[in-house]
A and B are shown apart, each in its own frame.
Chain A
């Protein structure tokens, strides 16, 4: 699909919010890919951490919300320690989680879960699961 890029997408509220919460300048990232290269959780991610920050630079928040990456992120901060440009990607991930979970999209539909399973699940896992892709 072709996406349109303009000053509206580049300087959208989403981009401003991510930068404000994470206190990072997204455009500082020059897409070297070192964060993805060293991420211990990348085997389970459908988009790599470096792709997530690129999508954030372009203001493509829906693509970020659709991916499981930010929820797989273990906040181990390996990426932040190794980034050659000093971008604290773990903070960006956290900002993206905060923004995405506040979109109030239920990822888990309780009625679709069998009663027996619900009985076995801890409550906190279900509450967490509402707004996230993983528990």
Chain B
């Protein structure tokens, strides 16, 4: 068929036209073989610009269009939509990027820039000549979501998706849901008590008919693709027959093993058989296999012998369930940097981290709401907070700011000051970051009403001096080195990725940053998406944030899931890899390089088979295929050769 190609050159205001001579580009291609139209316009993406493209396609009866403007990331979709409206197959439209690739990097070499722009446009024309008409593929969609993590973000996500009428599966690693939020004593700046926030949410989630919660469970394996993820969930045994157990607690009294309680951050003890904490609204008895004597080869059967309902079952096995879900929300939360990483802050029972102090301040904590220090149970009269322990400390810890510490320090200092009459709180800080609604006012009230003394400077050293801990810090505002004799020191340690986050990211095939936080697809425009379609991020798995920000990011992730679920089926880009079965030898190199697990070797035909819905068009298989059997739709080798001819033509 005769080729009738139109070339549209955009000025992008002065973004392109300030560097590239757009008239000369039009001039250079207007008589190029198969080009029947070449024109320019100040903003092609504007309404009149789009109208120009649309009418020209019709009037000139074009069967190919080269848009010479900004990056395809920016406007490929826009112009393909225009082509479709004008009756042209959208895959017969190509973008020649003369902004990011030409005008921006070559601002000071205008002549060369114009030459390069002409080359790029001609390359696009050559590629276009061998493009074929394609249609997006239809992929089935399972309208069920998986939420990994049962903290405040995960619970919110589950409730929101379920209330829209879709099924949700929640997988929580710990034996109870609630996450870090359930451990907190209160929230800033309103000082809400946490059970008042969490209890209704947890109760609603557990009893929701559309939500299935797996506690003590992990995501073992994930395969498939958007709309069709196949997830294996592995639960660990509790060793208790839940149907028989009546929570009488006799077993807890008899169990001879005590170990530190995770929920109380090691400030209290629990038995090897224990009841999940009341804050988490679950109240289930379970055995901790790491500490139980019987499960580690001993003869002890104390709990089994005392149990009146015979609920103990040492032979219980975990189960593995397989579920198909359409979308996954990752809400696995954060970890805390170990305070031992700063050796000059002497390890001491009265030097604790922020989460431990939350437990001490909590009415249901290890001290029952009385503020007592861990070493001797005395009420601390002078307490010192140290901000930025590991945060903003590139030499010892991390470059980033953990974003919540300034505010939780103010909150803890206020709760402390109101509970301990005559108690004085000191805060060493570098900057006070109180950048949300009501936060600045809250910090100021801590200073002015609760008389918390803020000292601007880092603490250099902590050491024990009899009953006290000496704190050596500085106050740069007065230019003094200061010493405070403290009863209790709280270190605001950095928020870090949770242990195991990287392993989970590998299973889900999503990316992590250099620190180990999961990364978003685009920092500005796709803040809750991952690069793997159908997997979204919620809360602190992505970056340190406080509860309102976590809830907000969860809302974003949920809206993505719901917008996907509101469709009948999914569409997938058709520009994917396909094997020429006549040439393929079935060596399997392509399958081994495919990051998306989209290729398998057909066991009967012994040739590569591409799962069209999973292929993300990266091209790794094509580059690695030794026989050249693997092809890319609309990106075939001949097209590349034609483009290379143009690109190098000026130099031979």
The contact of A27 among B381, B447, B477, B479, by CB within 8 Å, is B447
A134 to B71 CA separation, bound complex (whole angstroms): 70
Known contacts A27-B451, A30-B444, A31-B456; A4/B482 CB under 8 A: yes
A41 to B416 CA separation, bound complex (whole angstroms): 42
**A interface residue count range (under 10 / 10 to 19 / 20 to 34 / 35 or more):** 20 to 34
Residues of A within 8 A of B485 (CB): 4, 6
Residues of B within 8 A of A4 (CB): 482-485
A51 in the interface, Cβ–Cβ < 8 Å? Answer: yes
Q: In the bound complex, do residue B477 and residue A51 qualify as a contact, i.e. CB atoms below 8 Å apart?
A: yes
Residues of A within 8 A of B478 (CB): 51, 54-55, 58, 60, 63
Q: In the bound complex, do residue B477 and residue A5 qualify as a contact, i.e. CB atoms below 8 Å apart?
A: no
B448 in the interface, Cβ–Cβ < 8 Å? Answer: yes
A130 to B139 CA separation, bound complex (whole angstroms): 93
B91 in the interface, Cβ–Cβ < 8 Å? Answer: no
Q: In the bound complex, do residue B472 and residue A2 qualify as a contact, i.e. CB atoms below 8 Å apart?
A: yes
Contact bitstring A30-41, B, C-beta under 8 A = 1, else 0:
110000000000
B15 in the interface, Cβ–Cβ < 8 Å? Answer: no
A124 in the interface, Cβ–Cβ < 8 Å? Answer: no
A77 to B595 CA separation, bound complex (whole angstroms): 70
A57 to B166 CA separation, bound complex (whole angstroms): 59
The contact of B448 among A7, A10, A25, A50, by CB within 8 Å, is A25
Q: Tell me, rounded to whole Å, the shortest Cβ–Cβ distance linking B542 to chain A.
A: 32
Residues of A within 8 A of B455 (CB): 5
A27 to B480 CA separation, bound complex (whole angstroms): 18
Q: Tell me, rounded to whole Å, the shortest Cβ–Cβ distance linking B460 to chain A.
A: 11
Q: In the bound complex, do residue B477 and residue A2 qualify as a contact, i.e. CB atoms below 8 Å apart?
A: no
A1 in the interface, Cβ–Cβ < 8 Å? Answer: yes
A63 to B477 CA separation, bound complex (whole angstroms): 14
Q: In the bound complex, do residue B484 and residue A27 qualify as a contact, i.e. CB atoms below 8 Å apart?
A: no
Q: In the bound complex, do residue A6 and residue B382 qualify as a contact, i.e. CB atoms below 8 Å apart?
A: yes
Known contacts A10-B424, A31-B456, A58-B475; A3/B481 CB under 8 A: yes
- Total number of A-B contacts with CB less than 8 angstroms? 56
Residues of A within 8 A of B453 (CB): 5, 10, 27
Q: In the bound complex, do residue B484 and residue A3 qualify as a contact, i.e. CB atoms below 8 Å apart?
A: no
A28 in the interface, Cβ–Cβ < 8 Å? Answer: yes
Q: Who on chain B is nearest to A31 by CB?
A: B477
Residues of A within 8 A of B448 (CB): 25, 27-28
The contact of A6 among B480, B481, B484, by CB within 8 Å, is B484
B426 in the interface, Cβ–Cβ < 8 Å? Answer: yes
Residues of B within 8 A of A54 (CB): 475, 477-478
Contact bitstring B404-447, A, C-beta under 8 A = 1, else 0:
00000000000000000010101000000000000000001001
Residues of A within 8 A of B444 (CB): 30
A51 to B455 CA separation, bound complex (whole angstroms): 13
Contact bitstring A1-31, B, C-beta under 8 A = 1, else 0:
1111111001000000000000001011011
Q: In the bound complex, do residue B480 and residue A60 qualify as a contact, i.e. CB atoms below 8 Å apart?
A: yes
Q: Tell me, rounded to whole Å, the shortest Cβ–Cβ distance linking A118 to chain B.
A: 38
A73 to B649 CA separation, bound complex (whole angstroms): 78
Q: Who on chain B is nearest to A60 by CB?
A: B478
Q: Tell me, rounded to whole Å, the shortest Cβ–Cβ distance linking B380 to chain A.
A: 13
Residues of B within 8 A of A5 (CB): 426, 453, 455, 482-484
Residues of B within 8 A of A60 (CB): 478, 480
Q: Who on chain A is nearest to B480 by CB?
A: A3
A28 to B451 CA separation, bound complex (whole angstroms): 10
Q: In the bound complex, do residue A2 and residue B483 qualify as a contact, i.e. CB atoms below 8 Å apart?
A: yes
Residues of A within 8 A of B479 (CB): 51
A58 to B448 CA separation, bound complex (whole angstroms): 14
Q: In the bound complex, do residue B483 and residue A3 qualify as a contact, i.e. CB atoms below 8 Å apart?
A: yes
Contact bitstring A44-77, B, C-beta under 8 A = 1, else 0:
0000001100110010100100000000000000
A25 to B447 CA separation, bound complex (whole angstroms): 11
Residues of B within 8 A of A1 (CB): 480-481
Residues of B within 8 A of A25 (CB): 448
Residues of A within 8 A of B484 (CB): 4-6
Contact residues, B272-322 vs A (CB, 8 A) = none
Contact residues, B458-483 vs A (CB, 8 A) = 472, 475, 477-483
Q: Tell me, rounded to whole Å, the shortest Cβ–Cβ distance linking A53 to chain B.
A: 10
Residues of B within 8 A of A55 (CB): 478
Residues of A within 8 A of B382 (CB): 6-7
Q: Tell me, rounded to whole Å, the shortest Cβ–Cβ distance linking B476 to chain A.
A: 10
Contact bitstring B473-502, A, C-beta under 8 A = 1, else 0:
001011111111100000000000000000
Q: Tell me, rounded to whole Å, the shortest Cβ–Cβ distance linking A52 to chain B.
A: 10
Q: Who on chain A is nearest to B485 by CB?
A: A6
A80 to B352 CA separation, bound complex (whole angstroms): 42
Residues of A within 8 A of B482 (CB): 2-5
Q: Tell me, rounded to whole Å, the shortest Cβ–Cβ distance linking B449 to chain A.
A: 10
Residues of A within 8 A of B480 (CB): 1-3, 58, 60
A3 to B484 CA separation, bound complex (whole angstroms): 9
Q: Tell me, rounded to whole Å, the shortest Cβ–Cβ distance linking A88 to chain B.
A: 16
Q: Tell me, rounded to whole Å, the shortest Cβ–Cβ distance linking A56 to chain B.
A: 10
Q: In the bound complex, do residue B483 and residue A7 qualify as a contact, i.e. CB atoms below 8 Å apart?
A: no
Q: For A1, A54, A63, which residue has the most chain B Cβ atoms within 10 angstroms? A: A54
A55 to B447 CA separation, bound complex (whole angstroms): 16
Q: Who on chain A is nearest to B474 by CB?
A: A2
Residues of B within 8 A of A63 (CB): 478
Residues of A within 8 A of B447 (CB): 27, 30
A85 to B640 CA separation, bound complex (whole angstroms): 67
Residues of A within 8 A of B477 (CB): 31, 50-51, 54
With A2-B482, A6-B484, A10-B424 already in contact, 5 other A-B pairs whose C-beta atoms are closer than 8 Å: A4-B483, A5-B483, A6-B485, A50-B477, A58-B475
Would you list the 3 A-B pairs with minimal beta carbon distance, nearest first? A2-B481, A54-B478, A54-B477
Could you list some 26 contacts between A and B, CB below 8 A? Answer: A1-B481, A2-B481, A3-B481, A3-B482, A4-B485, A5-B453, A5-B455, A6-B485, A7-B382, A7-B422, A25-B448, A27-B448, A27-B451, A27-B453, A30-B447, A31-B456, A31-B477, A51-B477, A51-B478, A51-B479, A54-B477, A55-B478, A58-B475, A58-B478, A58-B480, A60-B480
